[in-house]
């Protein structure tokens, strides 16, 4: 049954997570920042499901379901914030929002 090694899942998960982190840092558009965040969440799901496949447990898949639900919430709230920022300030780039800089 265990034809796919755990390290393969881990490698794919880490590469996707790193791409997501680089996207969060390097992207300017607010919506694409959120999309990179979705990519990072997906990478964590791959790691959880891969560990499940290796260990023969079912807990990781349940946590993956919780992560999917939280990602839906995060997308709703994040996109609402982005729309509110755009309506109030008419900006869509991350470096134009610098009111919190001391």
Partner 1 sequence: MGKLIIFGFFSLMAILSGIGIITLKNPVYVIVALLSSLIAVAGIFFTAGAELVGALQLLIYAVAIAIFYIIVISAVPWQKAKKSETHHRFEGLISLPVVLLLYIEMIVVFLLGVKASPEGEIAKLIEKIGNAEVIGAILFSKYFLAFEVVSLVLLVGMIGAVLIGRKESQTYEDDTT
Of residues 46 through 75, those in contact with partner 1 by CB under 8 A are 46-47, 49-59, 61-62, 64-66, 68-75
The three-class DSSP label of residue 56 is coil
Residue 95 binds partner 1 (CB under 8 A): yes
Q: How far apart are alpha carbons 97 and 70 in whole angstroms?
A: 26
Residue selected from 3, 100, 101, 102 as contacting partner 1 according to rule CB under 8 A = 3
Question: What are the tokens at 13?
Answer: 């998960």
Give Cβ neighbours of residue 8 (< 8 Å, ≥ 6 apart). 50
Q: How far is the CB of 97 from partner 1 (least distance, A)?
A: 14
Site residue total, partner 1 (CB under 8 A): 72
């Amino acid at each position: 049954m265990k034809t796919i090694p755990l390290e393969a899942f881990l490698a794919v998960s880490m590469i996707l997570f790193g791409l997501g982190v680089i996207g969060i840092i390097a992207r300017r558009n607010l919506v694409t920042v959120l999309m990179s965040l979705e990519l990072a969440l997906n990478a964590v799901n791959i790691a959880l499901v891969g560990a499940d496949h290796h260990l023969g447990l079912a807990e990781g898949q349940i946590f993956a379901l919780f992560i999917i639900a939280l990602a839906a919430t995060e997308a709703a709230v994040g996109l609402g914030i982005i729309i509110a920022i755009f309506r109030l300030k008419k900006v869509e780039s991350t470096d134009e929002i610098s009111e919190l800089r001391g």
